[in-house]
A and B are shown apart, each in its own frame.
Chain A
Amino acid sequence: MHGVTGATSPVPRGLWRDIRSMLVFSAKRLLALFLTVLVGVYLTIYIANMGGQVDELRLVQIRGTVGEEVRADPAFFDLPAAERNALIEERVQLEVERLRLDQPFLLRSVDYLQQAIRLDLGRAEQMHSDSGSRQVYDIIVERLPATLLLFGTANLLVFFVSVFVALALSRRYGSPLDRAVIALAPSSAAPAWFYGIFLILIFAFLVPMLPAGGMVQVPPPEGSLAYAASVLRHMALPVLAMFLGSIFISIYSWRTFFLIHSSEDYVEMARVKGLSSGLIQRRYILRPTLSPIITSFALMLIGLWSGAIILEQVFNWPGLGTLLFQAIGHRDTPVIIGSVVIFAYLLAITVFLLDILYAVLDPRVRMEANR
């Protein structure tokens, strides 16, 4: 086959070689990524359960809760001690069976793993979706829109503003604005929720113009437009907090990145040739740097998945961060695994697609993979 193709035309032979290289490369990457996901998810299961030690904690917790429930219930107030303890024991046993705590952790961990890898998210052990479903899928999907809306808006805003401002600053190296951005870059050392607290204090309490938290006013408006306007009002402070928390360092990073690329020989050559600065920017700076920009953008997009635990808590935003926080608090392993496994798959798929993209764009990558 190879010989025939090679005898007829050199172009198809090159294409076939490229396809074969790509397939081999993809298979290797897929296998590596699958193993990474497998290990990552199992590590999550293991760590979330502290290697099975969480079982012990949960047992104590169940005993404590059941004991206090029975003691607080006036219906049982005159039960003889022995009968009361028997009742407690019976209830504890029911809960132990429900949570499968009577089975060894190793066995359960393998179960968790194979379900997770099959993307069968299963049932939560303690938690429910806001509307009352115990399916982990429902629990996660219900919170997803709120997270995507808030973090999508803020991150897209930060991303595009910082890229465009950085590009502009790279042309005005050393200007007062450039120096101001450099000076402000350390302000991003403080997390967004830190700014959030001050913003709430100022704009919700001192000069009460915006709500202190929540996703929509209470009760939610009935019309769609009014609802959307209310959500926008509630997004204002958290978006601003996230914006303030990362914009300067982001501009600084991109500015430095563009500055490095602006001093490449081919850019200098373009300048010497007298090309317009807009053309140089688009064709000689942006185009060659597209791969890292896309990579950064893609990773930013999948980063939305995790939300932000503290920020959501501060703004009382019903997103995935709060959900994960609650899941950890409840030690609800299926929900924790559900959140992580989806993130892991998204990350793996993104990395895989980026790898393919790089391989398509850059032959050196394919060649490297084939060695």
Chain B
Amino acid sequence: MKKLILLMLATALLAVAYLFVSDPVDRRPAGMPDAVPVDPADLAARRGALVDQIVFTQESDPGKVTGMIETGTHHVFGQGVTSVTVFNRIRDSQQAAYDMSYGFSVELTLNPAGPELADGSLNPFHVPAIREAMNWLLDRRHVAEELYGGLAVPRYLPLNTAFPDYARLADVARALELRYQYDPARAERIITREMEKLGAERRGGQWLYQGQPVRLIVLIRTEDVRQRVGDYVANRLEDLGFRVERRYRAAAEASRLWLAGDPAGGQWHLYTGGWIATTINRDQVDQFSFYYTPRGRPEPLWQAYDPAPEFDEISERLQRRDYSTWEERQQLMARALELAMEDSARIWLVDQLSVSPRSREVELAADMAGGVSGSWLWPYTIRFRDRVGGTVVFALPGLLTEPWNPVAGSNWVFDSLIMRSLNDLPLLPDPFTGLYWPQRIESALVTVQEDVPVTRTHDWLALETAPEIRVPEDAWIAWDVEKQRFLTAGEAHPQGLTARTRTRVHYEEDYLQRRWHDGSQVSLADLVLPWILSFERASEDSPLYDPSHAPSFQVFQRHFRGWRIVSRDPLIIEIYSDQVFPDAETIVAQRTPSVQPWHVLALGVRAERTGELAFSSHQADRQRVDWLSLVAGPSLRVLDRQLEQAGGQRWLPWEGTLGGLVREGEVLARYQALATWRERRGHFWVGDGPFYLHDVYPVERTVVLRRNEHFPDPSDKWLRFTRPEIPELDLDGPLVVDAGGEAEFRLEITFQGERYPPEDIDLVQYLLFDSRGNLARRGEAEPDEAGTWVVRLSGSETAALGAGANSLEVAVTTGRVALPAFASHGFATVPERRAANGGGAD
């Protein structure tokens, strides 16, 4: 017995020893080439991705990030880190690097109900002047630097500081930020005045209303740094003499009070709110309506908003895009910003920075708003700095969260991140400006009605205006479910139809010569079937009708005015719509149709018609069937059966329409290619992106992608977007200027020590503030021959400043990043020396 136990112990020890000494991780896949040192000349020759394989795995603990990067087990983390402790470890690590994004904003939502609430208590925040005074009461720099440990930047306005509108209005924004900078004495003065007007009195340092202490309830979110922000705000209000009750609540409990509850019920007075943006929003004109007026949302809080008539009118005009020129829009925006600060139903505090950690040896394009998880260019840019090829291990907090299908499958942020590498879109957004670049199209022509303000930035597209845009009679505008054919604009609108925009898209010459991952060739049917499917799913007469699709489709129909194939070779398509975006690039991106493999969708169509699977979650629950997944689970068995039957029948859905869009023998070839693909790869996800889905391990939470060697683009196509080129400013000039004398200030704009290309600098604006903080002058700096930007002040301008300490603020906006850069220089104006000297001598 003892011998047996000893033998077992020895075996166990040997096994443990083996586990400890064996190679911790060997990720090089069998049959894959070794990574080779990078040679810039070879980059352009290589096609597709710069790494051979990407392995996605689940890791939800940000605390392990640095350790995992340092031990080399993981290279990229898709989740943004907001913990200062973790950030400090990443920053101090020799092996770790990171990218910053700006998509989360923190504000104080103030309860506007009152002045008396349901229980008869006083709500001071009913008064706009008290709300406005909160701007002076709170030190945003303290919040950003102390509470957020530097992982935030102060924010004053309802515009995200990293988005284009903030840069476009940088001069206005800067002036407002200086006007509302921290001034607690002023805040106290105003609050005291207004409280007394309300009938309150301050006795023994305590505010009383009708003999009772004025009680304020601060609803504080507990999940993040907002807990400390809430405490800070509560402390400041206590200092002013309010009795403060702190209610600490997590998201759901807090929402019940501030979002769903009646603000007049008196359950809260201030709430530490937060708003997220996962992509760069290039047009923030509707911010005012959303955040400050009852039009924002139907909930009781919004219905309690009572903006000043001028603010309400401007907000509504902006939301309706009721302006005819860009200048008019900017004027409205500038005024709305001022009025928003006077209203202050929300006190914007900071834009929180989120850190996307990665290994120092890996680079990829991270989005300025959404970080790595929001980036569209990551699959095209991910690489090892010192070698080509290799395997990157990518950690995500969750993956395969919901079933994957391209019609109405999982839209979880981390699932979407993976899917973006499997499909190749016609246009891709710039991660630093949000403007679109062509990927699979050569050019586009956007025609807009004359009264529609649209701008163009890039030269890959053209923009023109027309007094009227008529929709051609042969454009497809609807789908007849019964006859299974498109209805033309001529049939649906015999009296004629007009649209506000026409977008003519020229696809790349070989767009239809490309191949899907399963080897089958792309065809026009791949472009048209998704349209038919969308119409079918919205029609109650169709067996594919899905009530959850209908509301969105109805919105689409409001602005859709038809589309047509102008030419098949080369492929040119025209789309007519009433929906207008301020950037012509965005119009093209929103209108351009992309392809989806019709033979894969066809299996889903068959499965939904036979009541075995459903494309959407809602439909799956309604029919009590499985939600269609192309990559794993019980759906695969159903799809196998459908593939066998469809292949046997050479089945082409909506044959009357699609029959003329497929090549000879394509139907059978497609199903054969898909059957082979399914057999080799074990799933049905077929794409055309730079990576293909190689393996899926659902329980192990692992997804393996491999490089698509047949991808048409050179590997270095998008590498210029790896790093955001945020300008670095160095403003220099005299510290003392004679009032009445000329002065010159020089601004160096660089990036990583190199001069910033002047052609990429949009605007260098300056604001001059006098010693009382008043805006004395604004203007634009001018470049000199050496590439330095110069601000020149004339004698009369310096004389107008008077004697005292002044401040010159410079804002630089570029075409490369949406984020503006600021610099300031303080200088003193003194009475003219000659006069002063003379006076002294006399």
Contacts and interface: CB of A to CB of B under 8 A. Distances in A.
A59 B627 contact: no
Contacts of B259: 60, 63-64
A134 B627 contact: yes
Nearest to B578: A78
Nearest to A87: B551
Interface string A205-222: 100111111111111101
Given A130-B701, A134-B626, A213-B64, A75 B555 contact: yes
Given A87-B551, A129-B633, A220 B700 contact: yes
Contact of A205 (B71, B404, B556): B71
A77 B626 contact: no
Contacts of A87: 551-552, 555
A63 B260 contact: yes
B19 A94 contact: no
Contacts of A89: 298
A130 B255 CA distance: 30
A218 B55 contact: yes
B298 A85 contact: yes
A98 B559 CA distance: 29
Contacts of A218: 25, 27, 55, 57, 393, 700, 702
A123 to B, nearest CB: 7
A205 B67 contact: yes
A238 to B, nearest CB: 13
Contact of B256 (A60, A78, A201, A215): A60
Contacts of A142: 698-699
A78 B402 contact: no
B60 to A, nearest CB: 7
A300 interface: no
A67 interface: yes
Interface residues of B, number: 86
Interface string A114-134: 000000000100001111111
Interface stretch (A18-26, A180-188, A229-237, A254-262): A229-237
Contacts of A215: 699-700
A79 interface: yes
A83 B558 CA distance: 11
B58 interface: yes
Contacts of A314: 61
A90 interface: yes
Contact of A131 (B21, B581, B632, B695): B632
Contact of A213 (B20, B59, B295, B626): B59
Contacts of B19: 210, 229, 232-233, 236
Given A213-B59, A219-B697, A132 B319 contact: no
Interface in B656-678: none
A233 B22 contact: yes
Nearest to B293: A81
B253 A57 contact: yes
A367 B404 CA distance: 61
A56 B26 CA distance: 50
A197 to B, nearest CB: 9
A146 interface: yes
Contacts of B697: 219-220
B556 A75 contact: yes
B620 interface: yes
B252 A214 contact: no
A37 interface: no
A218 B393 CA distance: 8
B556 A128 contact: no
A233 B19 CA distance: 6
B547 A61 contact: no
Contacts of A88: 297-298
A78 B64 contact: no
A78 B582 CA distance: 11
A191 interface: no
A80 B283 CA distance: 16
B260 A208 contact: no
Contacts of A85: 297-298
B633 A132 contact: yes
B636 to A, nearest CB: 9
Interface in B47-94: 55, 57-61, 64, 67-68, 70-71, 73
Contact of B60 (A68, A72, A129, A316): A316
Interface string B234-267: 0000000000000000001101100110000000
A76 interface: yes
B715 interface: no
A79 B59 CA distance: 39
A74 interface: yes
A303 interface: no
Interface in B257-292: 259-260, 276-279, 283, 286, 289-290
Given A61-B252, A75-B552, A87-B551, A131 B402 contact: no
Residue with the greatest number of chain B CB neighbours at <10 A, chosen from A68, A80, A82: A80
Contacts of A131: 400, 629, 632-634, 698-699
A52 to B, nearest CB: 14
Contacts of B68: 212
Contacts of B788: none
Nearest to A197: B63
A56 B256 contact: yes
A313 interface: yes
Report, nearest first, the 9 A-B pairs whose CB atoms are least far apart.
A81-B295, A132-B633, A131-B633, A132-B629, A130-B698, A205-B67, A132-B403, A131-B632, A131-B698
Given A74-B586, A220-B700, 12 more contacts: A56-B260, A60-B260, A61-B252, A72-B277, A98-B622, A123-B624, A128-B627, A133-B633, A134-B627, A212-B67, A214-B700, A232-B15
24 contacts: A60-B256, A77-B581, A78-B579, A95-B618, A128-B403, A130-B632, A132-B631, A132-B633, A132-B698, A142-B698, A204-B71, A211-B73, A212-B64, A212-B71, A213-B61, A213-B64, A214-B59, A214-B701, A218-B393, A219-B702, A219-B704, A220-B702, A229-B19, A316-B60
